[in-house]
């Protein structure tokens, strides 16, 4: 026992205090996410695979069996390759084991929490609040739910939060390596879901407008390299699509459109056209729909009737976090806060134009949590001072 204490004492003395704090935070996030994920796996209902999950699984099964990127009927799949290839790798190693997918997606969730913590540190948020932000992300109910489904939402959230971390690093000290890394990570996102195809161009234009240092030739070349790296990441799949379908389309998703096709077959075209006139305005506020409704929520409340109260608490907490995040608009003059909100604005606009499904907004939730804790970090000293004054009076 003494030898173990001595070993920990030596490690603590030989390790930089900042590095030690980071190790403790990262360990805590993974311990919490594994614990929460284990509880979810054990007690929550198992949801059946729906049409989109079945489609991803079908392509992945064919890949792992050596049949290529095809449907079961042998036709080439006009689909984004990111998630099916990831599933195929898991199937090749662990067999058709859906629990292995769930465990890996839980580890991805842990990484999302870690990058939320690291971004908070970049924003000079104090250690305890940065750690709290990482833990909140790691235990976010929707993330725990989707880590147990055969859907790419967790991977997408991971790609986005990594790209935001790289973006903040790139904004402070632009280097060619960071620009390439940022372009490649966003390329991986686009190869998993094409929604962000225009995000790199949006960010590049906004950076040129709001951050004057990137108008200088040296930094401009690094910004240009970011766009080139993104395009190069998509190039192999663009060539494949051209050979297979004779169309110059970098990424296209049949699976993502399945629900829209189903809806079109049920609702008359005239009604859809009439609805579209007001749908864009509705989607602007539906983007902030906390979800927790539908068949999956019903399955949970059927098994645990008291979960209805917990879902209500979740919705209240969601809107409280959102309100605190919106308060950070006060600091849009800070380039880091501006960049985070520009990313959120892109998804917000894309959601308003596209399909109003709560899970499509899920990847930006970690950014909202970061902005919420940025506001808390700003407000907490002010509140503490007021309480101290009131006690003195």
Q: What is the pLDDT along the chain (393 residues), one digit of tens a residue?
A: 555 556 556 555 556 778 889 999 999 999 999 999 999 888 888 877 788 888 899 999 999 999 999 998 888 888 889 999 999 999 999 888 888 999 999 999 999 999 999 999 999 999 999 999 999 999 999 899 999 999 999 999 999 999 999 999 999 999 999 999 999 999 999 999 988 999 999 999 999 999 999 999 899 999 999 999 999 999 999 999 888 888 877 777 666 555 443 343 334 434 444 455 456 667 777 777 766 666 777 778 777 788 788 888 888 999 999 999 999 999 999 999 999 999 999 998 887 776 666 677 889 999 999 999 999 999 988 766 655 555 555
Domain ranges for the chain? 15-44+97-251+278-388
Find the radius of gyration of the CA atoms of the chain.
Answer: 23
Q: What is the pLDDT of residue 257?
A: 55
Q: What is the pLDDT of residue 268?
A: 42
Q: What is the pLDDT of residue 128?
A: 95
Q: What is the pLDDT of residue 110?
A: 97
141 in Cβ contact with 153 (< 8 Å)? no
pTM score of the predicted model: 0.89
User: How far is residue 282 from each of residues 116, 128, 150, 352, measured CA to CA in Å?
Assistant: 30, 38, 29, 8
Find how far residue 104's CA is from the centre of its chain: 15
């Amino acid at each position: 026992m003494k030898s173990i204490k001595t070993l920990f004492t030596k490690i603590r003395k030989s390790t930089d205090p900042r590095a030690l704090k980071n190790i403790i935070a990262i360990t805590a996030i993974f311990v919490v996410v594994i614990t929460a994920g284990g509880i979810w796996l054990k007690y929550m209902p198992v949801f059946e695979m729906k049409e989109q999950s079945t489609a991803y699984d079908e392509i992945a099964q064919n890949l792992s069996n050596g049949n290529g990127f095809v449907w079961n009927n042998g036709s080439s799949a006009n689909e984004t390759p990111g998630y099916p290839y990831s599933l195929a790798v898991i199937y090749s190693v662990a067999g058709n084991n859906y629990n292995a997918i769930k465990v890996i997606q839980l580890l991805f969730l842990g990484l999302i929490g870690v990058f939320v913590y690291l971004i908070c540190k970049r924003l000079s948020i104090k250690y305890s609040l940065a750690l709290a932000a990482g833990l909140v992300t790691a235990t976010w109910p929707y993330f725990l739910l989707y880590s147990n489904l055969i859907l790419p939402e967790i991977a997408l959230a991971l790609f986005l939060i990594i790209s935001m971390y790289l973006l903040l690093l790139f904004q402070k000290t632009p280097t060619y390596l960071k620009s390439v890394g940022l372009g490649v990570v966003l390329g991986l996102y686009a190869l998993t879901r094409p929604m962000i195809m225009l995000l790199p161009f949006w960010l590049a234009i906004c950076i040129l407008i709001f951050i004057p240092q990137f108008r200088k030739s040296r930094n401009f070349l690094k910004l240009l390299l970011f766009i080139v790296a993104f395009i190069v990441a998509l190039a192999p799949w663009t060539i494949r699509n051209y050979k297979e379908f004779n169309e110059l389309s970098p990424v296209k998703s049949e699976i993502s459109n399945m629900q829209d096709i189903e809806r079109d077959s049920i609702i008359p075209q005239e009604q859809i056209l009439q609805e579209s006139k007001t749908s864009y305005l509705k989607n602007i506020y539906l983007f902030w729909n906390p979800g927790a409704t539908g068949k999956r929520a019903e399955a949970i409340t059927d098994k645990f009737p008291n979960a209805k109260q917990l879902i209500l608490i979740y919705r209240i907490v969601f809107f409280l976090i959102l309100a605190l995040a919106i308060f950070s608009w006060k600091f849009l003059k800070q380039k880091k806060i501006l960049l985070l909100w520009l990313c959120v604005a892109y998804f917000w606009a894309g959601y308003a134009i596209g399909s109003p499904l709560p899970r499509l907004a899920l990847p930006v939730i970690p950014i909202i949590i970061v902005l919420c804790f940025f506001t808390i970090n700003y407000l907490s000293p002010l509140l503490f001072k007021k309480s101290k004054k009131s006690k003195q009076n």
